Amino acid sequence: MRLLPWSAVAVALLAVSAWGAETVASSLAEPLLAVPRTLPNFAATGLVKTARPSPCEDEMVLVDGMYCPRIEQRCLRYLDPPGPYHYYRCAEYARPARCLSRERQHLRFCIDRDEFTRPGEELPANFQSYTDADRICTGLGKRVCRESEWNFACEGEEMRPYPYGWQRDPDACNADLGDLFDGRGKLKDLRATGASHPRCASPFGVRSLAGNLEEFVARDGTRPVSPAMKGAYWQPSRNHCRAAQTAHDRYYRGMETGFRCCGEVP
């Protein structure tokens, strides 16, 4: 009896799922070249899942998974020399991060792929306050994102420190820019479109969650709602997913402030 090489056996095993043991028996009796050249349509057999259309509106992304409220991310090395900002920008984090919560929470929601942009404009809207975000999102049938939702959309179930991974990439997002102020000491307008930095995307495909604009969110568990700002902006800053700016009230707006909306899954 002639034994087939391992490659032939592998092809024969693949045939089992499509044609059954009887077909495999006949193929084993033939030389390897006798195996049909056309493989079966596994999608049609149900062995391969086809992608389902997103239930979210156009220009929104579905976020669905298990979120950890409390995490530990350990920085292995920092970018800046010793000084007041030495422990500010982390060049590389230890992998994996640790979930410190007893249980994870299931989150399922829709979030804008990009920061809010007015119709007919290319750059995301700035000089937006939390009250602006609340009014505009509500008018669109959406709502301001909760901080936990923003965190999860940024880091994914891996709990990435940066939306794109574990090592800081100064070119991935619209961040770490120099020459921030004009001759009058005013912050320059250095906004960019989400499409201009395709690598600045989270595991769910949400863009510009690090840098570009500081985005207003609603802090979880606060009554009345207390705002926070997430993502920093184009300055050299922390820019990691869990970082938050809480010094400003719901009426603050500046060159660097914007938002994106969230919504329930239909």
Question: What is the DSSP track for 129-165?
Answer: -HHHHHHHHHHTT-EEPBHHHHHHHHHTTTT-SBTTB
Rounded to whole angstroms, the Cα distance separating 143 from 141 reads 7
* pLDDT tens digits, one per residue of 57-71: 999 999 999 999 999
The answer on pLDDT for 108 being more than 80 is yes
- Number of Cα atoms under 13 Å in the Cβ half of residue 106: 0
Q: Which domains does the chain have, with CATH numbers?
A: 6-45 (no CATH), 51-63+107-266 (3.90.1580.10)
CA 225 – CA 250 distance, rounded (Å): 9
Whole-number average pLDDT of the chain: 85
Task: Give buried/exposed letters for 32-65 (b at 16+ CB in 10 A, else e).
Answer: eeeeeeeeeeeeeeeeeeeeeeeebeeebbbbee
51: confidence class by pLDDT, cuts 50, 70, 90: low
pLDDT tens column, 153-175: 999 999 999 999 999 999 999 99
State percent of the chain over pLDDT 70. Answer: 80
Spatial CA neighbour of 246 closest among 226, 261, 260: 226
In sequence order, the β-bridge partners of residue 33 are none
Q: 28 pLDDT exceeds 80? A: no
Residue 47 pLDDT greater than 70, yes or no: no
The gap between the terminal CA atoms of the chain, to the nearest Å, is: 61
Does the model's pTM come out above 0.85? no
pLDDT classification of 5: cutoffs 50, 70, 90: very low
14-23, 77-86, 226-235: least confidently modelled range = 14-23
